[in-house]
Amino acid sequence: MGSTFSYYKTIATNLVLSFTIFTVCRIFFLVYNLSYFPEISTQTLLSIFKGGVTFDIAALCYINALYIVLMCIPLISRYKTTFQKFTKWTFVLPNAIAIVMNMADVVYFRFTGKRTTASIFKEFSNESNILTIFTNSILTYIPVTIAGILLIYALIKLYRAPKCRFYAYESKSLFYIVNAALLGLVGFLFVTGIRGGIGKTVRPITISNANQYINKPIESAIVLNTPFSVIRTIGKKVFDTPTYFPSINDAEQVISALHMPKDSTEFKPLNVVVFIVESFGREYIGSLNKDLDNGNYKGYTPFIDSLLPDALTFEKTFSNGNKSIDGMPAVLSGIPMIYEPYFLSHYSTNAVSSIAGELNKKGYYSAFFHGAPNGSMGFEAFSNISGYKDYFGMTEYDKANPGNADFDGTWSIWDEEFFQFFAKTMSTFSEPFTTAIFSASSHDPFKIPERYKDVFPEGNQPIHKCIRYTDYALKRFFETASKQPWFNNTLFVITADHTNQADKPEFFTEVGRSEVPVIFYYPGGDLKGMRNEIAQQIDIMPSVLGYLGYDNPYISFGRDLFNTTKEDEFAIHFANNAFTFMKDNKVLIYDGSTPLGLYDYASDRLLKNNLVNVDTLQTKKDSMLLMTQAIVQQYIERMNTNQLVIKEIQQ
């Protein structure tokens, strides 16, 4: 029996090695991204690491399932040298992949604010230059790369193979009896590990279970590990419609996604141009942050600062997603990211409209522009299904500018050149037209053209020089566009897809991580000033249509900023398995079943003072909770029943 103990001790030793590496990855993740978790307490850290044990054990069971089965199956052949060499690599390879996944998320977290899920496979499925992107990332984030290599080296060197042999048993019968019993025990422990515990009330844990170990939603990224997050979201299909309200009609009494035209509205056939600027967070714009640095904050966008006095924006402006792929549905179609990116989901074939889809009915020409290889990020597919008639990507740019000289080497055509192409191409369109452009140069790996190396200096974050460059590219665009005959008859909208690297503590919170600009600029009109209201990406579609006097019904989860009042303001954002709902300077954090926090954003911008249990605020909390639930229930029911366009005009 001593030999059996030695054999299973070896298996346990290797699994402890796997567990230890997961723990080291978590520590590295936390230390590398510590600025994203300001003032995290020791008590919270202890709770997080306690929860992390559960998720690491579950992940360990998933990735080592084949190794455990092969090592524990009661066959005499398992002692052969060839068999043991094979089982070694069934352990090493999955664990090495797990290390790569965890270390990659150390970096990718900074762009998404959460752990990566299985949607990443679809997100990058259309990238023809994925190897280049991966190689650049390895070379850009050297400390992370080195740490990953060292962990894989340790994994290989510290692996232990069993030394006992079958001849240690007196008979085959004894061998089979003992090892069959041990296989049953191992099976029980394996299932317990995957489920996250034992007992009738315990279900297999999912990523949402991380919320029980944290104070703020973003902290769930520390609790989780990437292999678990990916594995547990593979094959996710339909959402279960919640039952917050008896029916969707009841939910619509609280807040409705159905927009009906105003009586006797006169349609104004203005051109509409929408800029979705990569990673162009509100933090980077000096004139939108006059309270920072004791009023001395300059930011990195001198052109946008010069434009704002002649434009309309809002005191508080937010994104409705965390990734680039969330930006298009939110900005152009009024669809927030709830639970998973829309056009990577089961519902990506649903009928969906957009600014272009609606204005096409008014005789508009429509086109979408993105300087990356055609098909990148699924943008071309979404622009097509949402109603944009034409797509202009790298293929079209190269036809007009052969030679590939303006490619940035990783993602796309440089912003300056592509924005010029955008302006000049629009001059070939018949009016009225509606276009949208998604920029790329302010994306990781944060490079700018060599000729501007000494023009746009580095800031506190690698992205800052790229923001300066993109701001300059916007300046050059408007210089060119202002000379075109269509300019004064055009409504411009400028926003971002999501935020990115933060520098100021105000932008590390659940609210700050979603603050992006929402700017309306109409050279021939009177849209000017700063309104003391909330605006969000999903408000852009209904606001554009409302400003034009659009007279058809449509679906959008946002509000028309020009035809509603401050009393109607709200913003919703989903990240780290919880909703952040904002209204009237209050911020509600809600995980779908329990309110986790309530904050006064006006007096507590860093969200330190949780008011969720303050008696005098219960009515306000309940009202915000009801609105959140109404949006979520309508969203999911409309997704499940394919009702994102009006039935009468849905084909």
What is the per-residue pLDDT across 6-39, written as a single tens digit (0 to 9) for each? 788 899 999 999 999 999 999 999 999 999 998 8
Categorize the per-residue pLDDT at 215 as very low, low, confident or very high, splitting at 50, 70 and 90.
confident
Chain centroid, CA 285 distance in Å:
22
| Inside any domain, residue 619 | no
Q: Based on the fold, state whether residues 222 and 371 are members of the same structural domain.
A: no
pLDDT value at residue 180: 84
Q: How many domains does the chain have?
A: 2
Q: Based on the fold, state whether residues 410 and 465 are members of the same structural domain.
A: yes
pLDDT, tens only, 583-642 = 999 999 999 999 999 999 999 999 999 999 999 999 999 999 999 999 999 999 999 888
pLDDT value at residue 650: 39
List the beta bridge partners of residue 588: 581, 598
| Inside any domain, residue 582 | no
Q: Based on the fold, state whether residues 551 and 411 are members of the same structural domain.
A: yes
Lowest mean pLDDT among 112-126, 236-250, 464-478, 623-637: 112-126
Percentage, residues of the chain above pLDDT 90: 71
Categorize the per-residue pLDDT at 150 as very low, low, confident or very high, splitting at 50, 70 and 90.
very high
pLDDT higher than 50, residue 201:
no
**483's tokens:** 């000379």
Q: Which domain holds residue 369?
A: 258-569
Last residue of a domain, one of 530, 549, 569: 569
The pLDDT mean for the chain works out to 91
pLDDT higher than 80, residue 79:
no
pLDDT higher than 90, residue 403:
no
pLDDT, tens only, 152-175 = 999 999 999 887 665 555 567 777
| Inside any domain, residue 638 | no
Q: Based on the fold, state whether residues 41 and 177 are members of the same structural domain.
A: yes
Is the peptide bond between 445 and the residue preceding it cis, with omega within 30 degrees of 0? yes
pLDDT, tens only, 223-233 = 999 999 999 88
pLDDT, greater one: 237 or 382: 382
| Inside any domain, residue 593 | no
Q: CATH number for the domain including 284?
A: 3.40.720.10
Q: CA-to-CA distance for 630 and 333, rounded, in angstroms?
A: 19
pLDDT value at residue 648: 52
| Inside any domain, residue 602 | no
| Inside any domain, residue 499 | yes
The answer to whether 414 and 408 have CB atoms below 8 angstroms apart is yes
Average pLDDT over residues 384-402: 93
Nearest to 420 by CA among 379, 374, 371: 371
pLDDT higher than 60, residue 398:
yes
Last residue of a domain, one of 535, 552, 569: 569
Q: Based on the fold, state whether residues 170 and 284 are members of the same structural domain.
A: no
Q: CA-to-CA distance for 111 and 114, rounded, in angstroms?
A: 8
**158's tokens:** 């510290």
pLDDT value at residue 119: 74
pLDDT value at residue 649: 41
What pTM, to 2 d.p., does this model score? 0.84
Last residue of a domain, one of 541, 569, 597: 569
- What stretches of 205-273 show up as alpha helix (H) in DSSP? 220-223, 226-231, 248-252
Q: Based on the fold, state whether residues 281 and 158 are members of the same structural domain.
A: no
Q: Based on the fold, state whether residues 345 and 215 are members of the same structural domain.
A: no
pLDDT, greater one: 440 or 350: 440
Going by the DSSP 8-state scheme, the letter that residue 162 receives in this structure is: -
Q: CA-to-CA distance for 430 and 567, rounded, in angstroms?
A: 39
| Inside any domain, residue 631 | no
| Inside any domain, residue 520 | yes
Q: Based on the fold, state whether residues 354 and 483 are members of the same structural domain.
A: yes
Q: Based on the fold, state whether residues 226 and 263 are members of the same structural domain.
A: no
The answer to whether 473 and 467 have CB atoms below 8 angstroms apart is no
Q: Based on the fold, state whether residues 208 and 282 are members of the same structural domain.
A: no
pLDDT value at residue 170: 58
Q: Based on the fold, state whether residues 362 and 215 are members of the same structural domain.
A: no
Q: Based on the fold, state whether residues 271 and 226 are members of the same structural domain.
A: no
pLDDT higher than 60, residue 538:
yes
pLDDT higher than 60, residue 580:
yes
pLDDT higher than 90, residue 394:
yes
